Structure 1
Amino acid sequence: MTTVTKGLVFHEEGHKYTLDGKRTTSVTTILSGGIPKPFLVPWAARRAAEYAIANPGASLDEIRTAPDRERDTAGIRGTAVHDIAERIIHGAPVDVPEELYPYVDGYVRFLDAFRVEPVLVEKTVAHRGMGYAGRFDAIVRLPGLNGSDPVMVDLKTSNGVYRETKAQCAAYSCADFYVEPDDPATELALPVIQASYVAHITPEGTELHPLARDRAELLEHFEIFKHAHAIYRFGLAKHKVLDPIPYPAIEFEEAS
């Protein structure tokens, strides 16, 4: 007999979510399928061409997969920076690899400059009605910007800050509940998020970009997420063009 784990669980392996034992779609998966990213194709083509020029003896497969390798390397670095950032914001000691020191140094300076006060860090959330789950980076207070109001901050180590992050933060902020990893069955209420930001962590430093400047704008971004969710679901459905309608029976008069 299979035992179903009640509650919301984040599975590190495969980066997936289950709610009461059933697979739940992630916020990032919905956004990937619901918001077009037209820049990805020319980016991949450019990276492949650059690799081919820099490596004249490369095989076709090496050239073709060069953008994937670059993306995966960036993903590994981003995960490492996120893990270190989570410990730092709680004041825990960390060992920083030399290659990540510029990222971490800038992040620490950002925390000090904006007097960041953590409220909730790296929690898993879900929305039962819409059937999604996700894991946000941090809910914090920024006394110099938003006083005591809780705000959502997403950490990015990518080359840029992209528009879908607005919808991503809104989805986390408007989720039904969050859970603690050691008690996935207890649904806890999120604080009412009043604004959202991206902390863009780069080797040159960390910059704070506003996404939703107030609660009203955050709810507008959630509407965008709802539309992306509908497009994502449409893409999953087995929609097809139906068979043609038969011509109606028509009696033709013989020509006189």
Structure 2
Amino acid sequence: MSRFQAPMKRRNTGKGHYYVDANGDRIPGVTTILGDGLPKKALINWAANATAEYAIDHWDELGDMKASERLKKMQGGRYGITDKAKKRGTEVHGYADRLIQGEKVEGVPDLLRGHVEAYARFLDQFDVQPVVVEASVVNYTVGYAGTLDMIADILDPRTREHVRILADIKTNEKGIYGETALQLAAYRYAEFLSEGDGGEERPMIEVSHCAAIHVTSDSAELIPVTAERQQFLDFRYAREIRRFDAESRDLVGAPMDPPRETTIASIEWKEAK
């Protein structure tokens, strides 16, 4: 049993959001747990390559700087790429939320127009009927919270009948990563759901399937994702790895004093001949 107490509240900040319980204690978020609890082998290689690419693309500019300034620029170069990707993802999510709720979308930047048009086609092609959009979920027993993109009824291409799915929108260029299964499983097996930042909690809505919606400038594809009890268990393993990593320093104590003073004579060092 976790130590968190209902109700959960989502707190928005300039850079994102976090979750607190009734006592004001922070509840770990699903994406934070996965970010800290799963190895990121591909990310290590990407960081090295992105830093090298930044150095090549800004070679002349870097050459005119002091060594310490050059190092700082190179160390932070890759973050410009991730910041742009995060900003694009946030903006696409915003337009997607408005579209699925039937709002009219205008003034879309040229850079995002393809994404928005692709998502609009997707909503029409699958006859997407929203049940819940952008809702917070929490599991007090395990101890985590998160924000799901949508629960919706869509036309199943295989049966031509509507099925209820839990879906997460992804905009990265590389496609859908396996950890999305753990993310969706955490949402699916949450205990409670609330709409808005302070909405009343109600039992989590059951769904038949989970999926990712991969939105690019050319298309929006529905990607089935296995997010069952086993994946929920795997998510809980990741949560425990994160907990261990955060607490591991406390497992190592301070050096111990010897039980008695030494009686060994001082060592005399001789110079090598």
**What TM-score comes out, normalization by structure 1 length?**
0.86
1:199 maps to amino acid = I
- 2:177 counterpart letter in structure 1: Y
1:90 matched to 2:90: no
- SS at structure 1 position matched to 2:127: coil
Q: Secondary structure at the match of 1:136?
A: strand
Deviation at 1:241, TM superposition (A): 4.5
Contact 1:174 1:222 in 2 (8 A): yes
Report runs of 4+ in structure 1 exceeding 3 Å deviation.
145-149, 241-244
Q: Name the structure 2 match of 1:155.
A: 169
The structure with the larger Rg is 2
State the Cα deviation string for residues 4-25 of structure 1 (Å, max 9, x = none).
x972221220411112122111
Contact 1:117 1:141 in 2 (8 A): yes
Q: Give deviations 1:6-51, integer Å, cap 9, x for gaps.
A: 7222122041111212211100111111111111111011111111
Unaligned stretches of 5+ in structure 1?
A: 245-256
Counterpart selection for 1:171 from 161, 178, 186: 186
- Work out whether residues 179 and 187 of structure 1, in 8 Å CA contact, stay in contact via their aligned partners in 2: yes
**Aligned equivalents of 1:232 and 1:105: distance in 2?**
39
Distance 1:38 1:199 in 2: 24
Look up the equivalent residue of 1:167 and give its one-letter code: L
Please give the per-residue CA displacement for 1:217-236, whole angstroms capped at 9, x wherever unaligned.
52221111111111111112
Report if the CA contact (8 A) 2:9-2:198 is conserved: no
Q: 2:48 matched to which residue of 1?
A: 45
Is the 1:124–1:179 Cα contact (8 Å) retained in structure 2? Answer: yes
Alignment of 1:123-202 (within 5 A): 123-145=135-157, 147-160=161-174, 161-181=176-196, 183-184=198-199, 186-202=200-216
Q: Between the two proteins, what is the percent identity of the paired residues?
A: 36
Q: Figure out how many residues of one structure are paired with residues of the other and give that number.
A: 236
Query: Does structure 2 retain, via aligned residues, the 8 Å contact 1:200–1:207?
Result: yes
- The letter of the residue matching 2:56 is I
Q: 1:162 to 1:7 in 2, by over 3 A?
A: same
For structure 2, the residue ranges without an aligned partner over 5 or more in a row are: 63-69, 256-273
RMSD: 2.1
